[in-house]
Amino acid sequence: MSMNAFKAFKSCVPIAYSPNLYITLVRGIPGTRKQHRRTLEALRLGKCNRTVMRWNTPTVRGMIQQVKRLVVVETEEMYKARKEKEEAHRALRPPLVINHQPASSA
């Protein structure tokens, strides 16, 4: 996913109306400012692609604003829809049966 896709994704999130926010760390921590690392630590985001749920409070929104280039914010509905899509993708499919026997001539 390119950065433009992330920006488009983040711009359409109606964060103000959601009681819970799902925050996912999508960029690496090395090379970031110490203040940003401390903010991610306070949000309990230790590794890349980890998601945490936080209440939608002004404090948390301020923390997200500080590290907005490192994280993606989702509402509860968006998070559940993404998880369902991932589960459907991982669902068991019927096995592909290949017959290696030569065709018998009748």
Amino acid sitting at position 26: V
Residue 9 in this model has a pLDDT that exceeds 70: no
- Please write the tens of the pLDDT for every residue from 37-78: 888 887 888 788 888 888 888 888 888 887 878 888 878 777
Q: 16-76 has which fold? A: Ribosomal Protein L30; Chain: A, (3.30.1390)
Cβ atoms of residues 72 and 64 within 8 Å: no
Model pTM score: 0.61
pLDDT at 10: 55
More confident residue, 12 or 100: 100
What are the structural domain ranges in the chain?
16-76
Burial 57-68, CB ≥16 within 10 A → b, else e: eeebeebbebbe
* Confidence category of residue 89, pLDDT binned at 50, 70, 90: confident
Q: 8 is written with which tokens?
A: 């488009």
Q: Facing residues of 22 across strands? A: 53, 74
In this structure, what are the phi and psi dihedrals at residue 44, rounded to the nearest 5 degrees? Answer: 65, 35
